[in-house]
Amino acid sequence: MFDTLSEKFADAFKVIQGKNKISESNIEDALKQVRTALLEADVNFKVVKSFVSAVKDKALGEKVVSGVNPGEQFVKIVHDELANVMGGNHEEMSFDRDSILPILVVGLNGQGKTTFSGKLSKFLKEKKKKDVLLVPADTFRPAAKKQLQVLAESLDIECFDSDLSSGPDKIAISALNYAKENKKDIVIVDTAGRLHVDDELMSQLESVKKAIEYQKPEVLLVADAMTGQESVKVAKTFHDTVGLTGVVLSKMDSDARGGAALSIRHATGVPIRFISMGEKMKDLELFHPDRLAGRILDMGDVVTLVEKAEENIDEKEAEKMMKNLEKGQFSVDDFMKQMNMMSKLGSMGSLLKMIPGMGGVLRDVGDLSPAENEMSRMKVIISSMTKAERKNYKIIKESRIERIAKGSGNTVQSVKDFISKFKQMEKMMTGMMGMFKGGGLPGMAGFPGMGGAEGGPMGIQNGFRPPGKKKPKKGKKGNPWGKGYF
Ligand SMILES: Nc1nc2c(ncn2[C@@H]2O[C@H](COP(=O)(O)OP(=O)(O)OP(=O)(O)O)[C@@H](O)[C@H]2O)c(=O)[nH]1
Ligand SMILES: [Mg+2]
């Protein structure tokens, strides 16, 4: 997501870097590149126009701040404008009501409405402690009801037994009545996908909205980020027909160019509420314009990363591991736990992008799947080890190696390779203790290909360091991020 855009922005910034002052003539080229970058990302041309002119005005009007170079100043202006165009000061959607809150989920076919309905119910149950009722209201496809029922069951959330022989408006009303009787807080109505140009279906949606109008529903449009600026037209029509209160951008994990994210708010005035980042129920994030702007500009998004870590990492477990590390111990068991913690946070790529400066490195490295595959292979090998072996790999000699190889469906050589890699990791991890003392990112260093002792493509030894940090002198050890960077 946003990869090309990030790359093009980086090129545009290079034009200004090294200049000692921003002037009309020297930002002309940079602005041209920003403009092209946005158009290529399929951002609506009106949005591009006002974006570029806002950046120009701000850049030329900006006072020279001592100590900040014009390049950095320009990046900051583009960052703020990006955040601005996506909604600026984002006010969070409120889910607290005295009476039931109905949420109508609408959109084109296959955009991710049902998946989002499931994710939202999980979010509301876990984060907002709400009692949610999921309501299947797709009367065209019987399988749609089953899809939501299955999701609801997996999340342990009640699913309304909609009568599909009646219309979606009637379903919505009976669901609200049922919710009232059963003291539910929130009712999520998952509607059928429909084309915005299909008048009949759009008027059906209108009647659903009218039927529950008295209960002041939120109406969320789920828009596939891949759709680009076409989604602007869609959003406008849906907004005109049913009055949207928010947009959800789905499939943000894809290689969408970013047009939808950057155009929709500006073109429709409807706030983006959530971004959907994958097929799993946990892949949902509240939308924060400034954080996304940071990710687009390779500034990372440490805030989200820390939040994710706080939500998903078992603190006690992490503390135990740190204590072991302090004692100079790092077992295969610890390594396995680290890998599991990391996978809970998301894919390697998505995590690395949240670290400032890593976006560009990631683009250079390209595909991370070999590293991901290597990790899965290691997990299989570890799962064939006994408890004692995981505690102390040193007892793993020839016969044990053969057994592990057989059990995990790997060759003897692969198991040997794993053990020798683990040895290096152990050295690295215990050595890293000094560097990340005081709370670093658990696990990063131990990952294959990501800066473990073997010096993977993102290894610290290979020169990866945060922006603005000078390359450490040869042979000098220490945290390249600087003390207290996180
Ligand atoms: N990669 C990715 N896939 C998603 C995301 N959201 C949904 N999907 C997938 O997109 C497909 C369609 O999702 P649904 O939730 O069924 O879409 P829908 O809008 O309810 O579809 P209809 O009800 O048929 O209109 C499924 O295969 C989902 O797994 C996402 O954020 N990322
Ligand atoms: Mg659906």
- Kindly state the DSSP code that residue 478 receives in the 8-state scheme: S
Which atom of ligand 1 is the closest one to the Cα of 193?
25
Residues 140 and 193 in one domain: yes
pTM reported for the whole predicted model? 0.73
Compute, in angstroms, the gap from residue 444 CA to the centroid of ligand 1: 31
For residue 376, the domain's CATH number is 1.10.260.30
Which residues are CB-contacts of 280 (< 8 A; sequence separation ≥ 6)?
A: none
Number of alpha helices (DSSP H) and beta strands (DSSP E) in the chain: 20, 8
Number of alpha carbons in the 13 Å side-chain half-sphere of residue 479: 17
Has residue 454 been placed in a domain?
A: yes
Residues 140 and 268 in one domain: yes
Residues 192 and 323 in one domain: no
Residues 253 and 176 in one domain: yes
Nearest listed ligand to the Cα of residue 112? 1
Q: How many residues does the chain have?
A: 486
State the angle between helix axes of 412-436 and 315-326 in degrees (0 to 180), rounded to the nearest 10.
90
Ligand 1 neighbours (beta carbon < 6 A): 107, 109-115, 138, 144, 193, 250-251, 253-254, 276-279, 283
Number of alpha carbons in the 13 Å side-chain half-sphere of residue 249: 34
Has residue 335 been placed in a domain?
A: yes
Q: What are residue 221's DSSP bridge partners? A: 106, 247
Has residue 90 been placed in a domain?
A: no
Which atom of ligand 1 is the closest one to the Cα of 277?
31
Compute, in angstroms, the gap from residue 51 CA to the centroid of ligand 2: 35
Residues 316 and 456 in one domain: yes
Find how far residue 462's CA is from the centre of its chain.
27
Nearest listed ligand to the Cα of residue 118? 1
Has residue 47 been placed in a domain?
A: yes
Please say which residue of 85, 115, 148 terminates a domain.
85
Separation CA 76–CA 81 (nearest Å): 9
Which atom of ligand 1 is the closest one to the Cα of 276?
31
Has residue 106 been placed in a domain?
A: yes
Compute, in angstroms, the gap from residue 292 CA to the centroid of ligand 1: 22
Separation CA 2–CA 358 (nearest Å): 14
Has residue 29 been placed in a domain?
A: yes
Has residue 68 been placed in a domain?
A: yes
Residues 238 and 207 in one domain: yes
Please tell me the total count of domains within the chain: 3
Domain containing 13 equals 3-85
Nearest listed ligand to the Cα of residue 113? 1
Q: pLDDT per position in the chain (486 positions), as tens?
A: 677 888 888 888 888 877 777 788 888 888 999 999 999 888 988 999 999 999 999 888 866 565 667 777 888 889 999 999 999 876 788 999 999 999 999 999 999 999 999 999 999 999 999 999 999 999 998 899 999 999 999 999 999 999 999 999 999 999 999 999 999 999 999 999 988 888 889 999 999 999 999 999 999 999 998 887 788 999 999 999 999 999 999 998 877 778 888 899 988 999 999 999 888 898 899 999 988 888 888 777 777 777 777 777 777 877 888 788 778 788 898 888 888 888 877 777 777 777 777 777 777 777 777 888 888 889 999 999 999 999 999 999 999 999 999 999 999 999 999 999 898 888 887 776 656 554 444 444 444 434 333 333 333 333 333 444 344 443 333 333 333 333
Residues 354 and 278 in one domain: no
